[in-house]
Amino acid sequence: MSIKEEIDKLTEELKVYQDKYYKEGVSLVSDSEYDRLTDRLIELEKEHPELQHPDSPTKRVGSDLTNDFPEVRHTIPVLSLDKAYSDEAVLDFFSRSIQKEGGALSFAAEEKIDGISMVLYYENGVLARAVTRGNGEVGNDVTANIMTIGAVPLSLPEPLDIAVRGEVYLNKADFEKLNAAESDDAKKAANPRNLAAGTVRRQKSSEAGRVPLTMFCYEGFWANKEETPSDHLHILSRLKTLGFRINPHLAFFDSDKETARQKLAAAGLDGDPYAFSELDEFIKKKTAERKDLPYEIDGLVFKINELDVRERFGYTEHHPRWAIAYKFEAPQAEAKLLGITVQVGRTGRITPVAEISPTKLGGSTIRRATLHNQEYIDELELAVGDTVSISKRGDVIPAVESVIEKNNEGNTTYTLPSLCPCCHTEIVQIGGLQYCPNYDCPDQVKGRISYFASTDQMDIETLGPKTVELLYDAGILRSIEDIYSADYSGAENLPGIGEKSIALLKKGIKESLGRPFITVLSSLGVAEIGRKSAELLVKNGFDSMNRILNAVDRKDREAFAAIPGFGELTADRIITAFSSPSLRKTIEALSEAGLHMDAADDEKEKSEEQIFSGEVWCITGSFRNFNPRTKALKEIEKRGGRTVSSVTSKTTHLLAGEGGGSKRADAERLGVKIVTEDEFMKAIGGEKENEGNEDGQLLLF
Ligand code: IVH
């Protein structure tokens, strides 16, 4: 046998043993026999490097040569993923995508492995390069180290040109074992990811080879586009056939479970089928299972299945538009607490706010975070100067989560002032919360005016909190009723306000005169009377301001308490609030200004028939005719319907657009009527065929 023949034979033989071992965990030969054959091949390759196969099994062992990780340009886009922190945000991604595509889509859901992103480039079926992500365009060539990973095929059964993306990682158990064996504390890694990252960049691949790294692959890019499978499921199944390790924990989402199941089966993959409506269930399940997985995951990845759609959606500068990562933990950051300021809300509620060192968090710079109330500060034992951790979930206001390090300036736990920071009235305690009891406190007045004018209330365009503040400070607006009687001519010289905005403001004010009585009632800022209680009042006979005030003056507690959901406490509070001379003055002035003080006023002017009156609507998914979808809410409200953000037993209708999620399942379970966009359009007369039946009644409702 010639040297070449011997090398070829050893190469073939060892490949079979390795394959069997790495893929199935089966040893076909004893360890000593395996080592003997390997050593012989290493020796022959050393003497005749020109005869070494590029995918020689000796690469698994690594070598003592020094790696220098040259920079290599990627030939595929190596981007990271856009992030979501709530199931709502993932559902939103589903529905936005479906809406954009204007047709049905399905989504693969994978575990987001907390490891090192790696691209494997195969040329003619042989692993040519393994390249780190780097900056997305240029990465480091770490091929020698990656070749020691048993799960990485050194060659493929077919002579393909293909790039495969995946995650190199270390199992938790292997990490614990290796870290325990490391006697130098300074060299211990903080987590499996760090150890894996260090290993990938070991200078000697023989050392990298001693760390049992492994790899899951999740994306494939064929040089020859025609060979590219048509969807993600078929890519995964093809990668699997080619010898790559694919994470078996795959889930697949479609509009219904059966379709999802069929698509998985068609691709020959084991995976869990889900309907879109089961998303929150899926996320809950994965969150619970996370700690029991042998490896670390930091989230879930949702990817559009259809490749042609991916191509149409393309990429932003940073992310593909066809995928999103759901992260288990909200972003957290460290900041220093520079001070605590105190805000006075429209109801007099006092809220402490943390002023923190500018901190980047979830894509924006945070300077303030809520501290809720004194009790919360006491629980944290929070003092100015402390280093704190800040969190942000989804879109909500950032909050101080915990104290990381106490200040060394001698500051002790912060206590709210005893006087209102705005009007210096003594602060009072009500049910663990702090309030300024002065109805005329400037901050409260400003808050009340802003609330009255806000989009969800009287919706007076251009009268936002900033304008209110300016007009208040200039002495032009000093109460809600002033809105309708103020002389705005003096406002034109105020900074940021000009003739144009005054004209717009006047127009907005005029338009607001036509708002229905319920809106007027709920805009007054009486703590007990939000939109829901305003509706309840009207529905239960208090359909005019006079009826309400008469009962208040009679101190007719029973009449209010009899309203379902009200009770005596609320009744008493309503009586107290409406007995206040200041509020009475406001109501009188608003009535004179011409605002609706009687539900009957609405009838006169009403342009829309109140076809949804008494109904409670929730919406889900995305809509052809309403973008943003809050426009659909407005249509419902205009017609007397109430809108809520989740489906409960009180909900009467669910307006379901494309791609809605768990709300649909909730509606089905609770027997809530599900209305399609087409049906809704008919009901509101948005389409020609809105004729109704012979009685002129709408067919649906
Ligand atoms: S897909 C263009 N799938 O998470 C496709 N990424 O910022 C982008 N990751 O850099 C990646 N598990 O390193 C994808 N199943 C998975 C993943 C995954 C982990 C990593 C990947 C990426 C980062 C996202």
Whole-number Å distance, alpha carbon 108 to ligand 1 midpoint, is: 13
* Mean pLDDT computed over 361-378: 85
Give the ligand 1 atom nearest the CA of 80. Answer: 7
Q: Which of 22-36, 224-238, 303-317, 545-559 has the lowest mean pLDDT?
A: 22-36
* Mean pLDDT computed over 522-530: 91
Whole-number Å distance, alpha carbon 166 to ligand 1 midpoint, is: 7
Is 4 in a helix, a strand, or coil? helix
What amino acid occupies position 203?
Q
Give the ligand 1 atom nearest the CA of 116. Answer: 13
Burial 233-270 (b: 16+ CB within 10 A, else e): bbbbbbbbebbbbbbebbbbbbbebebbbebbeebebe
Q: Provide the β-strand partners of residue 341.
A: 353
The per-residue pLDDT for range 97-107, each reduced to its tens digit, is: 999 998 899 99
The per-residue pLDDT for range 284-295, each reduced to its tens digit, is: 999 999 999 999
Whole-number Å distance, alpha carbon 81 to ligand 1 midpoint, is: 7
Nearest CA to ligand 1 atom 17: 112
Q: How confident is the model at residue 606 (pLDDT cuts 50, 70, 90)?
A: low
The per-residue pLDDT for range 257-272, each reduced to its tens digit, is: 999 999 999 999 999 9
Tokens of 110: 């994978």
The per-residue pLDDT for range 19-51, each reduced to its tens digit, is: 888 878 889 999 899 999 999 999 999 999 999
So what's the pLDDT on residue 340?
97
Residue among 525, 546, 84, 39 nearest 280 (CA):
84
Q: Which residues line the pocket of ligand 1, CB cutoff 6 A? A: 79-81, 110, 112-113, 117, 167, 218-219, 301, 320, 323, 325
Whole-number Å distance, alpha carbon 89 to ligand 1 midpoint, is: 18
The per-residue pLDDT for range 84-128, each reduced to its tens digit, is: 988 899 999 999 999 999 889 999 999 999 999 999 999 999 999
Burial of 170 (0-12, 13-18, 19+ CB in 10 A): buried
What DSSP designation does 231 have? B
Give the ligand 1 atom nearest the CA of 112. Answer: 12
DSSP sequence for 275-315: EGGGHHHHHHHHHHHGGGSSS-EEEEEEEESBHHHHHHH-B
Angle among Cα 223, 229, 233 to the nearest 5 degrees reads: 130
So what's the pLDDT on residue 386?
95
Task: Report the alpha-carbon distance of residue 632 to residue 658 in Å, rounded.
Answer: 14
Nearest CA to ligand 1 atom 6: 112
Angle among Cα 438, 440, 441 to the nearest 5 degrees reads: 70
Burial 289-312 (b: 16+ CB within 10 A, else e): eeeeeebbbbbbbbbbbbbebbee
8 A C-beta contact, residue 700 and residue 683: yes
Whole-number Å distance, alpha carbon 163 to ligand 1 midpoint, is: 15
So what's the pLDDT on residue 690?
38
Burial 548-569 (b: 16+ CB within 10 A, else e): bbebbeeeeeebbeebeebeee
Tokens of 78: 């190596």
Cβ neighbours of residue 700 under 8 Å, at least 6 residues apart? 675, 679, 682, 683
Is 266 in a helix, a strand, or coil? helix
DSSP strand pairing (116-123 vs 162-169)? antiparallel
Is the dihedral angle over the CA atoms 248, 270, 322, 657 positive or is it negative? negative
Which of 200, 218, 328 for a ligand 1 pocket mutation test, highest count of atoms within 8 Å of Cβ? 218
Nearest CA to ligand 1 atom 16: 112
Q: At residue 395, does pLDDT exceed 60?
A: no
If one compares 497 and 647, the residue with the highest pLDDT of the two is: 647
Whole-number Å distance, alpha carbon 313 to ligand 1 midpoint, is: 18
* Mean pLDDT computed over 45-71: 89
Nearest CA to ligand 1 atom 9: 112
* Mean pLDDT computed over 642-647: 89
What DSSP designation does 156 have? -
Task: Report the alpha-carbon distance of residue 444 to residue 430 in Å, rounded.
Answer: 17
DSSP sequence for 628-686: STHHHHHHHHHTT-EE-SS--TT--EEEE-BT--HHHHHHHHHTPEEEEHHHHHHHTT-
8 A C-beta contact, residue 173 and residue 192: no
Burial of 537 (0-12, 13-18, 19+ CB in 10 A): buried
Nearest CA to ligand 1 atom 12: 112
Task: Report the alpha-carbon distance of residue 121 to residue 134 in Å, rounded.
Answer: 15
If one compares 469 and 318, the residue with the highest pLDDT of the two is: 469
Is 445 in a helix, a strand, or coil? helix
Give the ligand 1 atom nearest the CA of 110. Answer: 15
The per-residue pLDDT for range 414-456, each reduced to its tens digit, is: 999 999 999 999 999 887 789 999 989 999 999 999 999 998 8
So what's the pLDDT on residue 2?
93
So what's the pLDDT on residue 394?
57
Whole-number Å distance, alpha carbon 215 to ligand 1 midpoint, is: 13
Whole-number Å distance, alpha carbon 193 to ligand 1 midpoint, is: 14
Could you give the residue ranges of the DSSP H alpha helices within 78-210? Answer: 87-101, 143-146, 172-181, 192-200, 205-208
The per-residue pLDDT for range 209-245, each reduced to its tens digit, is: 999 999 999 999 999 999 999 999 999 999 999 999 9
Which of 107, 113, 307 for a ligand 1 pocket mutation test, highest count of atoms within 8 Å of Cβ? 113
Give the ligand 1 atom nearest the CA of 111. Answer: 15
So what's the pLDDT on residue 441?
96
Tokens of 681: 């359009």
So what's the pLDDT on residue 692?
36
Q: Provide the β-strand partners of residue 675.
A: 655
Whole-number Å distance, alpha carbon 245 to ligand 1 midpoint, is: 15
Angle between helices 567-579 and 581-593 (to 10 degrees): 70
Is 581 in a helix, a strand, or coil? helix
Q: At residue 550, does pLDDT exceed 70?
A: yes
If you compute the radius of gyration of the chain from its CA atoms, what whole number of angstroms results? Answer: 33
So what's the pLDDT on residue 687?
57
What is the phi/psi pair of residue 292, to 5°? Answer: -90, -5
Whole-number Å distance, alpha carbon 498 to ligand 1 midpoint, is: 50
What DSSP designation does 427 have? P
Q: Which of 31-35, 589-593, 636-640 has the lowest mean pLDDT?
A: 636-640
Residue count (the chain): 701
So what's the pLDDT on residue 557?
94
So what's the pLDDT on residue 298?
92
Is the dihedral angle over the CA atoms 687, 691, 696, 698 positive or is it negative? negative
Nearest CA to ligand 1 atom 22: 80
Task: Report the alpha-carbon distance of residue 354 to residue 342 in Å, rounded.
Answer: 9
Nearest CA to ligand 1 atom 7: 80
Nearest CA to ligand 1 atom 23: 80
DSSP sequence for 29-61: S-HHHHHHHHHHHHHHHHH-GGG--TT-GGGGT
Provide the 10 A C-beta neighbour count for residue 541.
13
Residue among 659, 588, 585 nearest 620 (CA):
659
Angle among Cα 628, 631, 635 to the nearest 5 degrees reads: 165
For the chain, percent of residues with pLDDT exceeding 90: 69
DSSP strand pairing (387-391 vs 399-405)? antiparallel
Task: Report the alpha-carbon distance of residue 366 to residue 335 in Å, rounded.
Answer: 9
So what's the pLDDT on residue 12?
94
Task: Report the alpha-carbon distance of residue 213 to residue 168 in Å, rounded.
Answer: 7
Edge-to-edge strand list for the sheet holding 297-304: 83-84, 323-327, 297-304, 107-113, 251-254, 272-275
Q: At residue 498, does pLDDT exceed 80?
A: yes
So what's the pLDDT on residue 556?
95
Task: Report the alpha-carbon distance of residue 664 to residue 647 in Å, rounded.
Answer: 8
8 A C-beta contact, residue 321 and residue 314: yes
Give the ligand 1 atom nearest the CA of 83. Answer: 7
Which of 112, 114, 215, 216 for a ligand 1 pocket mutation test, highest count of atoms within 8 Å of Cβ? 112
Q: Which residues are the active-site residues?
A: 112
Per the prediction, the chain carries an average pLDDT of 90
So what's the pLDDT on residue 605?
58
Q: At residue 688, does pLDDT exceed 50?
A: no
8 A C-beta contact, residue 684 and residue 597: no
